[in-house]
Chains A and B, each alone.
Chain A
Amino acid sequence: MTVWHIILIASIAVLALKLVGYLVPPSLLERPTPARVANLLTVALLAALTATQTLEAGGGVVLDARVPAVVLAAALYALRVPFIVVVAAAAALAALVRFLGWLA
């Protein structure tokens, strides 16, 4: 499996899911359980990705400059600062902390 295979398979799968919604009868949407599972699935995956992206390094959990950066990001999102500004601020803080040599 190459990177191109991964990109094409995943893209086709994501596109197919969008298409399926236009083909199935809308009555499926009336049922609360599938809709709730799909919404919570998005929440769980994004939360898990946030956690692993913050803590994972070389197959283990490492507390480094990413942690203060994500804490800052959470504070800024709570203050309704726009996404792109928050992402840049988090990157800048992580870079600064590393530059100062506080956290590996």
Chain B
Amino acid sequence: MTEANPPARAVPDATGAAVRAALGVGIAVSAYGVSFGALAVASGLDIWQTCVLSLLMFSGGSQFALVGVLASGGVAAGPAAIASATLLGIRNGLYSMRMSPVVGGPWWRRLLAAHWTIDESTAVASAQPTLRGQRVGFWVTGAVIYLGWNLTTLLGALLGDLVGDVRMYGLDAAAAAAFLGLLWPRLTSRQPVAVAIAAAVVAAVLVPWLPPGLPVLAAAVVAVVVGVTNVLGRRAR
């Protein structure tokens, strides 16, 4: 907004940096909603169901997981779909713990904050040097993504509704690419890479033997075993 940043005013500048980071991340991430909306409708959800998921669940990974499992197993895979979405939501609980001192304030503010505690709001807040910047970064990112994600979900759902045959447009491959995109930034060291490869192999091997959705849950065991024993962890490097 302003061309010049007066160096003497440190606090407004930190807030400005937080707002800029929040808008940049928020607008970029909101665009993913189009792919979610289109895939959800392609998985058999109607437009209302798709939009309620984005409004109520508001966690990209869990939403993609839910519709992904439903796409392969239908309503019969419901319990596995719920379990996959829930397990992927556990990390949000960790983010909440990290954001609790940042958010502060009365209970209703924490309630709203909880709903907006996702990868991006936590990441933007954590990157700010001052508490005020962290607070601004968290709320602006949360607000921008909540608005953007829900609008683009509706747009994607309407587009997906127009598109007929999913496979003809490669939307099934788009879902796989979307999961890979959510995974990619987490492959930062040897341990997560090893877990990712092992989990992918376990899930693929179990596909012919278990009902849809369960191979994904079985692969979660890999994370628990490696996480508890800390194989290939920091100390081993």
Given known A-B contacts A15-B115, A49-B65, A3 and B94 have beta carbons under 8 A apart = no
| Dominant secondary structure at the B interface | helix
Q: Do B176 and A3 have beta carbons less than 8 Å apart?
A: no
Binds A, one of B14-22, B31-39, B131-139, B143-151: B31-39
Number of A residues near B (Cβ < 8 Å) is 74
Near B by CB (< 8 A), chain A positions 1-39 give 1-15, 17-22, 24, 26, 28-29, 33-39
A-B contact pairs, 19 of them (CB 8 A): A3-B75, A7-B57, A10-B86, A21-B117, A22-B96, A48-B202, A48-B219, A50-B176, A53-B68, A56-B215, A69-B177, A73-B180, A83-B31, A83-B181, A84-B32, A90-B177, A91-B170, A91-B177, A92-B170
Known: A14-B59, A47-B196, A70-B180. 16 other contacts (CB 8 A): A7-B56, A13-B89, A21-B92, A22-B100, A22-B114, A26-B97, A33-B227, A45-B220, A48-B202, A61-B208, A65-B173, A66-B176, A70-B177, A74-B180, A84-B32, A94-B172
CA distance A60 to B226 in the complex (A): 28
Q: Do A87 and B219 have beta carbons less than 8 Å apart?
A: no
Q: Is B45 an interface residue (CB 8 A)?
A: yes
Q: Is B23 an interface residue (CB 8 A)?
A: no
CA distance A82 to B178 in the complex (A): 11
B residues touching A (Cβ–Cβ < 8 Å)?
A: 28, 31-32, 34-35, 44-45, 49, 52-53, 56-59, 61-62, 64-66, 68, 70, 72, 75, 78-79, 81-82, 84-101, 103, 110-111, 113-115, 117, 167-184, 186-187, 191-192, 195-204, 207-208, 212, 215-216, 218-220, 222-224, 226-228, 230, 233
CA distance A94 to B182 in the complex (A): 20
Nearest residue (CB) in B for A73 is B177
B192 contact from A20, A40, A65, A95, Cβ within 8 A: A40
Q: Which are the 8 A-B pairs with shortest beta-carbon distances?
A: A21-B96, A94-B170, A37-B227, A94-B173, A48-B219, A90-B177, A69-B173, A48-B203
Q: Do B204 and A14 have beta carbons less than 8 Å apart?
A: no
Given known A-B contacts A36-B233, A48-B220, A1 and B228 have beta carbons under 8 A apart = no
| A22 CB → nearest B CB, Å | 5
CA distance A81 to B201 in the complex (A): 26
| Dominant secondary structure at the A interface | helix
**Chain B residues within an 8 Å CB radius of A69:** 170, 173-174, 176-177
Q: Do B117 and A42 have beta carbons less than 8 Å apart?
A: no
